[in-house]
Amino acid sequence: MAQDPRARAAQSDPSLEHPAAAGSKTVITHNDGYISGIKIYDIGILEDPVPGEKRGRGKQHLTSSYWIYDMGVFINRNFPQMQAMMRYAHERAAKFPGFDFRYFINVSNALFLKAEGEGLRTKDGRDFFLMACWLAMAAAEVDGFLHAKYSTDERAAQREAFYKKYLDPSVVWIPDEEDDTEFEALLGKFAVESCRIDMIPTVALERLGIHNELCALKFKDPTGWMRGGFDVSTRVDSMKRHFEAIHAKNTTEDHLAHLIWGFMAVTHVVAVFPKRNDLIDFESIRRSNLRAADTSTRALVGDGGFRAAGIRQSARRVPSDSGEEATTTPSSERGDSLVEAADSELVMPL
């Protein structure tokens, strides 16, 4: 296998430096990892993994910009919850290796199902979907999936860098700062909602880019879905299969990259082609029917489908006979809060 250009770049020979003139700063240094084997003022252009080609770089134009921006905004809006999940997973994985991956992918799957149950037609449903997406990307950062580009040690270093990014983040937006309406009015169309695009998991993005590159080999028109959309239910079929493959530890393909692509593609299609969303909001139907049910039935089912109500559900209060709208049950009453419980244990079941 050809040596990674970055590895060649690290082997620069200082003896090959050529000062422009006595006493001046070095202008040219030789380094085989860079184009033409040189750097100018210590700046160079890295050689491609396959010299003269872009193989292995990914196809970033096949990643929806709507999804990237939505994820950046979503991360900023929900960073405290994400940080709590990260801390919970990191602490337990230190005692039980592999716990973090199992935690991230199971909670991702559960929230994905809740999003599907609401047909991506409610605010909560879309929040569930984007959080499920972020959790799948978090799983891709810690799963240890190996391909030829990175060694086991490099993947371990990437995992720790991912945790550091969330547990000890660099602050861009000032927490709890009030909106400056005068400033935003001055910006006009250039005003954007606070976002943390820099916090989108990087290894997951790279794996998505490689997946895009493979799709460009497989499909004659790899941008067709971006221009014409697809029935969302067909992509849900695929995403469920990839969840199943991940749970089965099937490594014949990068099923996590497939799954992340599904999250990205569905976000794009629902945003650009809302009429292609053929999912059914079963949750609204269920809540409507529960209003006609007796008290004992409502107490039995809680917020779930068939399963009995329990203290570790992400539950809404069941609608009353009077027809009041279902409301969100405070986390302290649900028993699934991500805040510190009385015994200092985070209550978040797998």
Alpha-helix runs per DSSP H in 248-319:
255-272, 282-291, 295-301
Q: 161-171: per-residue pLDDT in tens?
A: 999 999 998 87
At 339, the amino acid letter reads V
Query: Where do the structural domains in the chain lie, given as residue ranges?
Result: 60-174+193-282
Q: 173-186: per-residue pLDDT in tens?
A: 777 788 888 999 99
How confident is the prediction for the chain on average, in pLDDT?
A: 82
How far apart, in whole angstroms, are the C-alpha atoms of residue 113 and residue 119? 10
At 179, the amino acid letter reads D
Query: What b/e string do you get for 253-280 counting C-beta neighbours within 10 Å, with b at 16 or more?
Result: ebbbbbbbbbbbbbbbbbeebeebbebe
Name which of 7-21, 77-91, 324-338 the model is least confident about: 324-338
Query: What pLDDT was estimated at residue 299?
Result: 77
Q: What are 68's strand-pairing partners?
A: none
Joined tokens for residue 238:
């695929």
Contact of 27 with 40, CB cutoff 8 Å: yes
Helices 123-142 and 79-95: angle between axes, nearest 10 degrees: 40
Phi (first) and psi of residue 214, to 5 degrees:
-70, -35
